[in-house]
Amino acid sequence: MKRIFLVLLTLGQMSYGQNSIKSDSLPARHIEEIVVTASRMASSKHEVPVAVSKLSQKTIAETKAVAVYEIINKVPGVLMVNLGNEQHSMAIRQPMTTNAYYLFLEDGLPIRPMGVFNHNALLEINQFNLQSIEVVKGPVSSLYGPEAVGGAVNLLSLKPSAVPQLKLGTQFDQFGYRRFQTAGSAAIGKLGFHVAGLSSLQKNSWMNFSDYSKDNINGRLDYAITAKTRLIGTVFYGKYYSDMTGTVNEKDFYDRAYKSSTDFTYRKSDALRAKITLEKDWGEKKQSFFTLFTRDNKLGQNPSYAIKWVQGQTTAKGEINSNNFKSYGALLQHNQSISFLNSSFVIGSLLDYSPVDYNAYQIDLKANLNPDGQTVSSYEIIAERPDIKLSDYEAEIFNKAGFFQLTVKPTEKVVITAGGRYDAMSFDYENHIDGASGTKRFDQFTFKSGINYNFLSWAGYYGNYSQGFSPPGLTSVFRAKSGTGGTTGVPAEFYYNLKAAEFNNYEIGGWFRFFQKKLNIEYSLYYLEGKNELLSIKQPDNSTDYQSAGKTRHKGVEFALYYCPNDQLRIRVGGTTAQHTFIDFKVSDKPADPVKNLNGFEMPSAPKWTANSEINYYPVWLSDFRASVEWQMVSSWFQNQVNTVKYNGYNVFNARLGYKWKDFEWFVNAINLTNKLYAYNVTRGNAANAVPSYTAAAPRTFVFGMQYNLSLK
């Protein structure tokens, strides 16, 4: 492989190859990927004993995604579930879930502090500021701490360009979506800067009551103090507001009557993140990084998913909540290579102090029933009840951690990795509902070890053992149990005894290259055991009871094939087959309930097969033209925990065309090309008469756009 010049930025979490864009434009050549997320330092993908995928800037630029899930779903073994208006859940070595089993990173730093997980965190991301995306599958708690169980998604930001650049773009669809975006970058002497912003607006879409707006801006300054010392500052600010459509009932779904049952639910976010990093090169392959960071988030909701309704009744209950936090933290990391056995190590520590406050109160609703009397046509607000508190607490979260990883290369073909991390997460709390106060603490040491054996120039494999853990989120701990508090006359009870979930992962994988590196195959097999998982039990009124005493098993095979027969074609085939099973999950003590435990049952929303494949065409007879067809497949899954009803899954095709002429680029994306009727998720309760809820997918959508790219070379 030819020389690749690497600049490690932001605590070693960002890597850029000066040749990367040019190399990626040659589809018939495979350039060995350099990744940073898997080891916190720049490493060859084939020298880290984990399943890691990298989405390049070229892939991001050609996808022209409205939402990040369109890009991330290209990673084999990953299903990022679209919940509408850039809201999402995730499935990486887990069922489709909103549980805190994924870590979302921005340039190597968690977007949110531990204990304040939000499955929608990536809706804050500026799609026009992405250099690349790296996805590590499986537990990486030994490097990144709690919540990095199913995997970690690291979004790497653009850095200042060596020459002045200006980008202006717009994209829109036939359903009222509009987005404007701009970016500028330059270097003046020792100072470089980059600014990127976007503004999105959705009005009068295919689903009624589904408007949203999003405004983001990112800024970055790089200052070279000396040739070996750099100062880097970044800032992000974003505002988001969305109608929360929620799900539709079965009849409306199959009639394609895309109507929301509410016209008052919403989600809004106001987010600020900033950091400043001092980088120091002490010598060849010896660097230190010190970062100070802050976060300031305000999240407010009147959530559609929190509406509690008993089938057949004409009244219901909802809630309004707000979740606000600030963070002040520091991260110190040192990377160094040593001559003994061609070794290298990473050592670091983290301190994160995050005060948080949360408030939720009840709203009384009227349920207007459909003629069948079993489903709801619409809800109306009767009264807001701030006097009925569902949750009301303040907490100060302290996350303290130290981590270490050693990599030894005793021979040219063998790489051995071992590392660990100790996390001491605690929070001082005051529960304003029951007057309780105190401290809860979750201490955990997580370990990983692995080996890479690249026994041939065209083949290699790896194996690893890794641990992961995830403490319960504060919103679960301080949620009043169903049937207590409020106007029930029963003192409010809370989930103070929830435990941290713990995971053990066993994994092997490998890679092959054939036909002068034109055909590349990657695979991984994993076996993930979980205990004390935070398990949710749906109640008849749609409320949730929590347990952290369950055991689960997750096992599967992930695979990817990349074939570039010539400079005109790129073929990608990727997917996973998996099983997600309850091993120990007690759901009821009631003698009348036919199912009292789910031992051996499949977990709901857990398709056994998912795949995403794509053919890209770059004709030599029409320079700067591109075309692609993408296939997304999700097999059937159980809608409920008791495994009585399945949804059949879906097959969907997307097509993308683009053409560049001088400094201009035009494109059109056809999403859901065949206008298939399908749902991203379908769920229902465990009762025999429970009705399903459909998260409807959009009909065929055409996204048009134009972009102006000016570079003063």
Average pLDDT of span 621-639: 97
What confidence tier does 542 reach under pLDDT thresholds 50, 70, 90? low
- Is 86 a residue whose pLDDT tops 50? yes
pLDDT of residue 602: 95
What confidence tier does 4 reach under pLDDT thresholds 50, 70, 90? very low
Residue 32 CA: distances (Å) to CA of 2, 44, 272: 10, 7, 36
pLDDT of residue 596: 78
Secondary structure (DSSP) of 516-578: TTTEEEEEEEEEEEEEEEEEEEE-TTS-EEEEEEEEEEEEEEEEEEEEEEETTEEEEEEEEEE
Of 388, 384, 432, 424, the residue nearest 403 (C-alpha): 424
- Is 74 a residue whose pLDDT tops 70? yes
The Cβ of residue 410 has, within 10 Å, a number of other Cβ atoms equal to: 11
Report the half-sphere exposure of 573 (CA within 13 A, side-chain side).
7
Contact 72, 135 (CB under 8 A): yes
Lowest-confidence pick of 115-119, 295-299, 645-649: 115-119
Mean pLDDT for the chain overall: 91
- Is 57 a residue whose pLDDT tops 70? yes
pLDDT of residue 201: 98
- Is 489 a residue whose pLDDT tops 80? no
Average pLDDT of span 488-515: 90
Instruction: Give the model confidence (pLDDT) of 159-186 as tens digits.
Output: 999 999 999 999 999 999 999 999 999 9
- Is 484 a residue whose pLDDT tops 90? no
CA 471 – CA 456 distance, rounded (Å): 42
pLDDT of residue 550: 81
pLDDT of residue 31: 58
- Is 214 a residue whose pLDDT tops 90? yes
The secondary element (H helix, E strand) that includes residue 143 is: helix 141-144
pLDDT of residue 332: 98
- Is 52 a residue whose pLDDT tops 60? yes
- Is 522 a residue whose pLDDT tops 70? yes
- Is 21 a residue whose pLDDT tops 80? no
**Pair type for strands 519-538 and 544-566:** antiparallel
pLDDT of residue 685: 84
Beta strands in 374-518 (DSSP E): 376-411, 414-431, 437-456, 459-470, 501-514
pLDDT of residue 339: 87
Contact 552, 603 (CB under 8 A): yes
Say which CATH superfamily domain 20-711 falls into: TonB-dependent receptor, beta-barrel domain (2.40.170.20)
pLDDT of residue 122: 94
pLDDT of residue 285: 86
- Is 487 a residue whose pLDDT tops 80? no
Instruction: Give the model confidence (pLDDT) of 337-364 as tens digits.
Output: 998 888 999 999 999 999 999 999 999 9
pLDDT of residue 23: 36
pTM (predicted TM-score): 0.92
Contact 186, 214 (CB under 8 A): no
- Is 12 a residue whose pLDDT tops 60? no
pLDDT of residue 580: 96
Q: What does the block give as tokens for 155?
A: 């979004």
Instruction: Give the model confidence (pLDDT) of 559-589 as tens digits.
Output: 999 999 999 999 999 999 999 999 988 877 7
Average pLDDT of span 540-558: 82
CA 97 – CA 90 distance, rounded (Å): 6
pLDDT of residue 70: 97
Contact 291, 109 (CB under 8 A): yes
20 DSSP assignment: H
What confidence tier does 502 reach under pLDDT thresholds 50, 70, 90? very high
| Identity of the residue numbered 509 | G
